[in-house]
Amino acid sequence: MLKDRYMMAFVVYIGCNTTLAAAAAALCAYIAPAAAGSGIPEVKAYLNGIDAHSILAPSTLLVKIFGSVLGVSAGFVLGKEGPMVHTGACVASFLGQGGSRKYGLTWNWIRYFKNDLDRRDLITCGAAAGVAAAFRAPVGGVLFALEEVTSWWRSVLLWRTFSTTAVVVMVLRGLISYCRGGHCGLFGKGGLIMFDLSSRQAAYTAKDLAAVMLLGILGGLLGALFNFFVDRILRVYSLLNEKGARSKIILTATISVITSCCTFGLPWLTSCTPCPPELAGKCPTIGRSGNFKNFQCPAGHYNALASLFFNTNDDAIRNLFSAGTDREFGAATLLTFFVTVYALGVLTYGVAVPSGLFIPVILAGASFGRLTGALLGSISGLDTGLFALLDAASFLGGTMRMTVSVCVILLELTNDLHLLPLIMLVLLIAKTVADCFNRGVYEQMVRMKGLPYLEVHAEPCMRSLVAGDVVSGPLITLSSVERVGTVVETLRQTGHNGFPVIEEPPLAAAPELCGLVLRSHLLVLLQGRTFTRGRAKAGAAEVFRKLAPFDFAKAGSGKGLKVEDLDLSEEEMDMFVDLHPITNRSPYTVVENMSLAKAAVLFRGLALRHMCVVSMTQRRPPVVGILTRHDFMPQYIRGLYPNTIPR
Amino acid sequence: MLKDRYMMAFVVYIGCNTTLAAAAAALCAYIAPAAAGSGIPEVKAYLNGIDAHSILAPSTLLVKIFGSVLGVSAGFVLGKEGPMVHTGACVASFLGQGGSRKYGLTWNWIRYFKNDLDRRDLITCGAAAGVAAAFRAPVGGVLFALEEVTSWWRSVLLWRTFSTTAVVVMVLRGLISYCRGGHCGLFGKGGLIMFDLSSRQAAYTAKDLAAVMLLGILGGLLGALFNFFVDRILRVYSLLNEKGARSKIILTATISVITSCCTFGLPWLTSCTPCPPELAGKCPTIGRSGNFKNFQCPAGHYNALASLFFNTNDDAIRNLFSAGTDREFGAATLLTFFVTVYALGVLTYGVAVPSGLFIPVILAGASFGRLTGALLGSISGLDTGLFALLDAASFLGGTMRMTVSVCVILLELTNDLHLLPLIMLVLLIAKTVADCFNRGVYEQMVRMKGLPYLEVHAEPCMRSLVAGDVVSGPLITLSSVERVGTVVETLRQTGHNGFPVIEEPPLAAAPELCGLVLRSHLLVLLQGRTFTRGRAKAGAAEVFRKLAPFDFAKAGSGKGLKVEDLDLSEEEMDMFVDLHPITNRSPYTVVENMSLAKAAVLFRGLALRHMCVVSMTQRRPPVVGILTRHDFMPQYIRGLYPNTIPR
Closest C-alpha to A55, from A43, A67, A40, A66: A43
Closest-CA distance of chain B to residue A62, Å = 29
Which pLDDT tens digit goes with each residue over B300-336? Answer: 778 888 888 887 778 788 888 876 666 677 888 889 9
Query: Which residues of chain A neighbour B407 with C-beta distances below 8 Å?
Result: 139, 162
> Cβ of A169 and B411 within 8 Å?
no
The residue of chain A nearest to residue B431, with distances taken between CA atoms, is A159
Predicted local distance difference test score (pLDDT) of residue B283: 67
Burial of B598 (0-12, 13-18, 19+ CB in 10 A): buried
Separation CA A456–CA A421 (nearest Å): 29
> Is the Cβ pair B456, A155 closer than 8 Å?
yes
Interface contact flag, A602 B601, Cβ < 8 Å: no
Cβ contacts of B601 on chain A, cutoff 8 Å: 606
Gap from B256 CA to chain A (nearest CA, Å):
38
- Omega before B452 within 30 of 0, i.e. cis: no
Distance from CA of A242 to the nearest CA of B (A): 35
A593 vs B contacts (CB less than 8 Å) = 585-586
Which residue type does B461 have?
A: C
Q: Cβ contacts of residue A444 below 8 Å, gap of 6+?
A: A227, A230, A231, A438
How far are the Cα atoms of A212, A219, A387, B617 from residue A207, in angstroms, in the given order? 9, 18, 14, 73
Nearest-Cα distance to chain A for B460, in Å, is 16
pLDDT winner (highest mean) among A228-237, A328-337, A468-477: A228-237
pLDDT interval class at A281 (50, 70, 90): low
- Mark yes or no for CB contact A158/B169 under 8 Å: no
**Cβ neighbours, 10 Å, residue B159:** 21
Q: Do A513 and B155 touch (CB under 8 A)?
A: no
pLDDT score, position B647: 41
- Mean local confidence (pLDDT), A410-421: 84
Burial B349-377 (b: 16+ CB within 10 A, else e): bbbbbbbbbbbbbbbbbbbbbbbbbbebe
Q: What is the pLDDT of residues A556-596, one digit of tens each?
A: 656 677 888 888 888 888 888 888 888 888 889 898 888 99
Are B592 and B613 contacting, i.e. CB atoms less than 8 angstroms apart? yes
Is the pLDDT confidence value at B107 over 80? Answer: no
- Point out the residue among A192, A407, A588 whose CB comes nearest to the CB of B139: A407
Asked whether the predicted pLDDT for residue B444 surpasses 80, the reply is: yes
Using one digit for the tens of pLDDT, what is the confidence trace for B391-434?
999 999 999 998 889 999 998 888 778 888 889 999 999 999 99
For residue A218, the model assigns a pLDDT of 93
State how far the Cα of A582 lies from the Cα of A547, in Å rounded to an integer: 11
Closest CA to B556 of B46, B53, B42: B53
d(CA B512, CA A620): 13
A123-179 pLDDT tens trace: 999 999 999 999 889 999 999 998 888 888 887 888 899 999 999 988 888 888 887
CB contact under 8 A, A418 and B192: yes
Q: Test B412 with A431 for CB contact under 8 angstroms.
A: no
Distance from CA of A117 to the nearest CA of B (A): 14
Alpha-carbon Rg for chain A in angstroms: 29
In A, minimum Cα distance to B178 occurs at: A205
Nearest to A594 among B424, B512, B586 (CB): B586
Specify the amino acid at residue A611.
M
A428: closest CA of chain B, how far (Å):
7
Shortest distance between the Cα of A366 and any Cα of chain B, in A, equals 22
Q: Please name the member of B163, B466, B617 whose beta carbon is closest to the beta carbon of A428.
A: B163
3-state secondary structure of A122: helix
Res A475: pLDDT: 85
Candidates A209, A404, A432: best to mutate against B (most CBs of B within 10 A) is A404
Preferred mutation among B418, B586, B602 to probe A, highest tally of A CBs within 10 A = B586
- Sheet of strand B610-614, all strands in order from the earlier edge strand to the far edge: B589-591, B610-614, B623-628
Are residues A412 and B417, on separate chains, in Cβ contact within 8 Å?
A: yes
Does A231 or A290 have the greater pLDDT score? A231
**B136-162 pLDDT, tens digit each:** 899 999 999 988 888 888 878 888 999
Write the residue in B403, B408, B606 that is nearest to A601 by C-beta.
B606
Q: Is the sign of the CA dihedral A519, A525, A527, A530 positive or negative?
A: negative
Band the pLDDT of B57: cuts 50, 70, 90.
Answer: confident
The answer to whether B415 contacts A417, with C-beta atoms less than 8 Å apart, is yes
CA distance A425 to A216: 8
Q: What is the pLDDT of residue B621?
A: 78
pTM of the model: 0.89
- Considering only the beta carbons, identify the residue of A142, A404, A420 that sits closest to B169: A420
Q: Which residues of A touch B512 (CB under 8 A)?
A: 616-617
Three-class SS of residue B287?
Answer: coil
Give which of A159, A172, A614 to mutate to test B binding, by max B Cβ within 10 Å.
A159
Q: Would you state the pLDDT for residue A181?
A: 67
Contacts of A602 in chain B (CB under 8 A): 588, 602, 606
More confident residue, A531 or B517: B517
Task: For residue A365, give the amino acid letter.
Answer: G
* Closest residue on chain A to B159 (Cα): A403
CA distance B629 to chain A (A): 18
**What mean pLDDT value characterizes chain A?**
84
- Give residue A140's pLDDT: 92
Q: What is the length of chain A?
A: 647
- Strand-pairing partners, residue B589, are B612
Residue that wins the pLDDT comparison between A189 and B417: B417
pLDDT mean across residues, chain B:
84
d(CA A494, CA A483): 17
Q: Percent of chain B beyond pLDDT 90?
A: 26
Which residue intervals of B494-594 are DSSP H helices?
519-528, 540-546, 570-573
**What's the CA gap between A29 and A237, in Å, rounded?**
14
Closest CA to A86 of A155, A40, A49: A40
Mutation site for A-interface testing, chosen from B142, B402, B591, B624 by largest number of A Cβ within 10 Å: B591
What distance in Å separates the CA atoms of residue A421 and residue A428, rounded to the nearest whole number? Answer: 11
Which residue in B142, B404, B602 is closest to A588 by CB distance? B602
- Residue B583 one-letter amino acid: T
Rounded to a whole number, what is the distance in Å from the CA of B369 to chain A's nearest CA? 21
Average pLDDT over residues B462-469: 86
Contact assignment for B158 to A139 by CB distance below 8 Å: no
Residue B642: asked if its preceding bond is cis (omega within 30°), the reply is no
pLDDT average, residue stretch A271-275: 78
From A194's Cα to the closest Cα of chain B, the distance in A is 11
Identify from A154, A195, A420, A624 which residue to disrupt to test chain B contact, counting B C-beta atoms within 10 A and taking the largest count: A420
Top-confidence range, B507-511, B562-566, B591-595: B591-595
DSSP A458: P
Residues from chain B contacting residue A456 (CB–CB below 8 Å): 154-156
pLDDT of residue B112: 61
Predicted local distance difference test score (pLDDT) of residue A647: 41
Kindly determine whether residue B417 and residue A403, on different chains, have CB atoms separated by under 8 Å: no
Among B173, B586, B593, select the one facing A585 at the smallest CB separation: B593
Cβ pairs bridging A and B (under 8 Å): 164
Chain B nearest-CA distance from A237, in A, is: 32
